[in-house]
Chains A and B, each alone.
Chain A
């Protein structure tokens, strides 16, 4: 069990962001696996919300291509309409949310809408989905993305999902945003963390096999390195076993050796 993919490490790192007993706004893709890993390891009392209208405790028993696949409904704690799920989010009752990003900046703002000019974009991305809602209303959130210089930028050209705004302390509170904002960015190379009062992301740990220099080179802003920065803990045998149970063919977590 010594070898694992970058995505498997990301899932394990994301799972560790979930504390036991938390209500997690899960979303799609890797966070679905992260939730399943957390539930089966250190967070047996966590619950998961899915914006299309589901509340679960145990993860689905079969592979999920989307949160709406039939196995995700079997033994759900609640199957309902989206606005009911959003009412929990709006009251600040979701402890943690996950949001995928195409582009993130120094202060954790996410762009999943337009690369380049809005009127004639260079790339039209799919849009917010529930991302903006999670970013604004959940108590804290984590984003997962591929670590590339073109994706980790100084300032996103379009803010779909606001993080810590311009990075000045208290930006979110001043602008009326309910939740605490981004807590961490988990990438294919590293984990970055934000100070609790807002501000900019600091390098917190580098994944095994990578270096601080490599991470800095793949980050378009001058990334500050936390004094406590170390190596990301690799996925445990138990974490890998859970990931491979939930994604047996590596659809989300990539080709394995």
Chain B
């Protein structure tokens, strides 16, 4: 993880994360960005639960291009509030979207289209604060949003960058296709025989993937289908401690800055959050002759 983040995410980069909304959020990658002290990032995402709030609180972010920043089960994002209301720890440029419009902006970039027309956002004030959303007569022009890097966490991947992901995908596909490059974090690193046995399940072309990081538990406290439940208590604790800047600083020290890596972090995670009731799908037949 350390090497992937160091090599492929520069200061000032536009980074898409949390593209499945609540599940499969690459928290481990976000925490590594904080440890390496990235600055002036543009965060791109729909609803990415509390990850964006943490990166904003740590001072890594200069611009937010998103539909929602907060804490899904708890409500407001306190670091987001401090940054937007008082410029603490620094001020932010906010380019608001809806979930639909951020998806369209990424598809526009993925297809190399000059813009995407949509009927959503008519009558809303959202376009008035975002130069990428231009109201026309009876429709809205959505300008492309192109991430420098999209970071995804999937259930399994092979070393060549073929990811198998399941569960709801949110905007992962358009974020991956639109991005200059993709960092894949995976729960299991598997031989290519596994991924190639089911090419319909491969999320993205391997040509987009620049790094594969084997990072079990990398989505905690977000859930991952088949592997991890959501840690509601951790979200509650984060909401309560991040209410003040001092409280957030203490949380950040304990869970991010003084945590050498995800392995050490997982030592402190409730082991009952690991999913134990497994429900396997029926295999499919790719027979050819």
Residues on A close to B: CB < 8 A?
A: 28, 50-54, 65-70, 73-74, 79-83, 86, 89-90, 113, 118, 120-133, 135-137, 158-162, 165, 172, 175-178, 251
Chain A residues near B98: list those with CB within 8 A: 128-133
**Complex interface residues of chain B between 130 and 163 (CB less than 8 A to chain A):** 138-139
**In the complex where A113-B96, A118-B129, A132-B98 touch, is A90 in contact with B69 (Cβ < 8 A)?**
no
Known A73-B167, A82-B169; judge A177-B96 contact (CB<8 A). no
**Cβ contact within 8 Å between B123 and A82:** no
Q: Tell which of A53, A65, A128, A176 touches B168, judged by Cβ atoms closer than 8 Å.
A: A53
On whether A122 and B85 interact (CB within 8 A), knowing A54-B168, A90-B119, A129-B47, the answer reads yes
Interchain CB contact under 8 A, B223 and A68: yes
Q: Which single residue of chain A is at the shortest CB-CB distance from B166?
A: A79
B289 within 8 Å of A (CB atoms): no
18 A-B pairs with C-beta separation under 8 A = A52-B22, A52-B168, A65-B72, A66-B49, A66-B72, A67-B21, A68-B230, A69-B230, A80-B169, A81-B171, A90-B100, A125-B76, A127-B67, A128-B97, A128-B98, A129-B99, A136-B123, A137-B120
Write the nearest CB–CB distance from A198 to chain B, whole angstroms. 12
- Report Cα–Cα, A52/B67, bound state, in Å: 13
Contact indicator A132/B121 (Cβ below 8 Å): yes
A81-B174, A176-B123 given. 10 additional CB < 8 A pairs?
Answer: A52-B168, A66-B23, A66-B73, A67-B21, A68-B222, A70-B225, A129-B99, A132-B124, A176-B119, A251-B232
Chain B contacts to A: CB under 8 angstroms: 20-23, 46-47, 49, 66-70, 72-73, 75-77, 80-81, 83-85, 96-101, 103-104, 107, 118-126, 129, 138-139, 166-174, 222-226, 229-230, 232, 235, 275, 279
Q: Which residues of B contact A172 (CB under 8 A)?
A: 123
Report whether A65 and B232 are in contact in the complex, using a CB–CB cutoff of 8 Å. yes
Of A67, A90, A123, A176, most buried by chain B (CB within 10 Å of CB) is: A176
Residues of A within 8 A of B68 (CB): 126-129
Chain A contact residues: helix, strand, loop or mixed: loop
Q: Is B120's CB under 8 angstroms from A70's CB? A: no
- Which residues in B have their C-beta under 8 angstroms from that of A121? 84-85
Note all chain A residues with C-beta closer than 8 A to B49: 66
> In the complex, A66→B138 CA distance in Å?
34
- In contact, B100 and A130 (Cβ under 8 angstroms): yes
Q: Is the CB–CB distance between A130 and B103 below 8 Å?
A: no
Known A68-B21, A82-B99, A133-B120: A73·B139 in contact at CB below 8 Å: no
Is A68 within 8 A of B168, CB to CB? yes
Q: B78's closest neighbor in chain A, by CB?
A: A124
**Shortest 7 CB-CB contacts between residues of A and residues of B:** A68-B22, A53-B168, A126-B70, A162-B123, A124-B84, A129-B68, A68-B23
A124 to B230, CA, bound (A): 26
Q: Choose one: A74, A81, A127; the contact of B172 (CB below 8 Å).
A: A81
Q: Which of B22, B80, B101 contacts A126 (CB 8 A)?
A: B80
Which residues on A sit within 8 Å (CB–CB) of B173? 81
